[in-house]
Amino acid sequence: MKKNLYIVRCGEVALKGMNKPYFERVLLERVRKSLEVYDEVEAAWIDGLMFVRVPADIDEDEVISRCVRVFGVASVSPAVEVPKDINEIGRKAGEFMNAILKAEDIKTFKVRAKRADKNFPIESPEIARQVGGMVLKASKVLGVDVHRPDCTLNVDVRKEAAYIYRDKVKGFGGLPLGTNGKGMILMSGGIDSPVAAFMMAKRGMSIEAVHFHSYPYTSQRAQEKVEDLVKVLAGYMGTVRMHVINLLPIQEEIVKNCPEDETTLLVRRFMMRIAEKVAEKNKCMMLITGEDLGQVASQTAEALVVTDNVVSMPVMRPLIAMDKVDIMEKAREIGTYEISIQPYEDCCTVFLPKHPVTKPKLPRIEKSESALDVDALVKAAVESEEIVVIAP
């Protein structure tokens, strides 16, 4: 069967010392998994690069789009393999360029050569010169421009063979999923939490999600929006389990028994307690939120201290020091933004106080909470969970 070749480069994985074989093995598994929808894919590491071969009838853009979503991948290039003979390389480079010319209006090019195999008798600048000459002859319409070419052809001469490629499509970098424990994201339908989940997963952390709703104050459609967001995330991190919990009974207790301006903060403390319990039950080591310093009343420094106080598990807030515009840009880049801006209500907005406290004091908050049977409310909420499994 004819197959097309893709060269996959890793970023930080290459910098690992003793653990490099482990990271390489996981990354290889992740790339294989991302391509398991196709039959007869081959993938292997050869001297620091991953060579992936996919049946030739599979769309190139689709293969690339799958590969660049694998965390740990720095870039991907569709490539052709040639025997290590300068005339063969030149001939193939000419063909490669003529194929490009059919689709694009290119006037100038250059060849960049790299000789990883120092036993190859021709040095890199000379490889570039000779191959460039052969491409010129094959294409006729092209000129060489070494400074600002429309197109650069790369020729890598390695131990096993030589490779010709043009583009490097950038991946997201990071570390292979599953190399850094598991975290529980508190997932709303907003812009921030999907980005927070993405950023932690990019550093290798497996992700489960917990989502709170206030049905029937919040709609079924609002929950579907969150599921749509998680589905986009699943495109990067594989199937995600989401724990769905109705917070309404707790919110009603708070509204009935506690000061109005503290409502949001008290609700957030319950969210954290419940999330921690669900996280423990599911072997997550950390909680993750999309909080961002100062963005809203519940995210002032004082509020975050009061929120954190109810849990002992570390709380990761990867967006804490980002500006909202940058978070929005990231959301667009990963494909969650358009879903996040759909106007559905969140449980946090259901009983929104007119003037929320922005500088809460812990003793006062604890006093307000003493009107509630916190443990029983948390226990009931945890027991009421429903689990939704969301595949890419």
Q: Which amino acid is at 35?
A: L
Q: How far is the CB of 35 from ligand ATP (least distance, A)?
A: 31
* Of 159 and 221, CB closest to ligand ATP: 221
Contacts of 168 (CB under 8 A, 6+ apart): 9, 75, 76, 77
Interface with ligand ATP (CB under 6 A), residue total 20
Q: Where is 80: in which H helix or E strand?
A: strand 73-82
Q: Which of residues 222-281 bind ligand ATP (CB under 6 A)?
A: 271
- From the CB of 78, what's the least distance to ligand ATP, in Å? 37
Which of Mg ion, ligand ATP, none lies near 5, with the C-beta cut-off 5 to 8 A by kind? Answer: none
Q: How far apart are CA 260 and CA 367, in angstroms?
A: 14
Q: Which residues contact 3 (CB under 8 A, 6 or more apart)?
A: 40, 42, 53, 54, 55, 56
Give the single-character DSSP code of 62.
Answer: H
Closest CB to ligand ATP among residues 131, 381: 381
Task: Give helix 324-334 / helix 192-202 axis angle, nearest 10°.
Answer: 70
Residue 65 touches ligand ATP, criterion: CB under 6 A: no
75 binds Mg ion (CB under 5 A): no
Q: Does 298 bind ligand ATP (CB under 6 A)?
A: yes
Contact map string, positions 346 to 365, toward Mg ion, x by CB under 5 A:
x-------------------
What are the backbone angles phi and psi of residue 178, rounded to the nearest 5°? Answer: 95, 0
132 binds, among ligand ATP, Mg ion, none (CB under 5 to 8 A by kind): none
Residue among 197, 194, 207 at smallest CA distance from 338 = 194
* Shortest distance, position 241 Cβ to Mg ion, whole Å: 21
Among 34, 75, 77, 188, binds Mg ion (CB under 5 A): 188
CB of 189 to Mg ion, least distance (A): 7
Token digits for 161?
């063979």
Site for ligand ATP in 190-209 (CB under 6 A): 190-193
Kindly give, in sequence order, each residue whose CB lies less than 8 Å from that of residue 121, ignoring residues fewer than 6 positions away: none
Supply the minimum distance, in Å, between the C-beta of residue 375 and ligand ATP.
21
Residue pair 92/198 in contact (Cβ under 8 Å)? The answer is no
Q: Binding residue for ligand ATP (CB under 6 A) from 211, 243, 277, 330?
A: 211
Q: Does 141 bind ligand ATP (CB under 6 A)?
A: no
Q: Which of 190, 194, 204, 360 binds Mg ion (CB under 5 A)?
A: 190
Q: Does 223 bind Mg ion (CB under 5 A)?
A: no
Residue 194 binds Mg ion, judged by CB under 5 A: no
Least Å distance, CB 196 to Mg ion, is: 11
Q: Which alpha helices (H) appear in the chain, and where do they start and end?
A: 20-34, 60-68, 86-103, 124-139, 192-202, 220-237, 248-257, 263-281, 301-308, 324-334, 337-340, 362-369, 374-383
307 binds, among ligand ATP, Mg ion, none (CB under 5 to 8 A by kind): none
CB of 258 to Mg ion, least distance (A): 21
One residue of 98, 219, 295, 358 binding ligand ATP per CB under 6 A: 295
Q: Which is nearer to ligand ATP, 78 or 290 (CB)?
A: 290
Three-state DSSP class for residue 133: helix
If the CB atoms of residues 97 and 230 are measured against ligand ATP, the closer one turns out to be: 230
Strand-pairing partners, residue 154, are: 112, 165
Q: Is 8 exposed, middle or buried (0-12, 13-18, 19+ CB in 10 A)?
A: buried
**Where do contacts with ligand ATP occur on this chain (CB under 6 A)?**
186-188, 190-193, 210-212, 271, 289-291, 295-296, 298, 346-348
**Where do contacts with Mg ion occur on this chain (CB under 5 A)?**
188, 190, 346
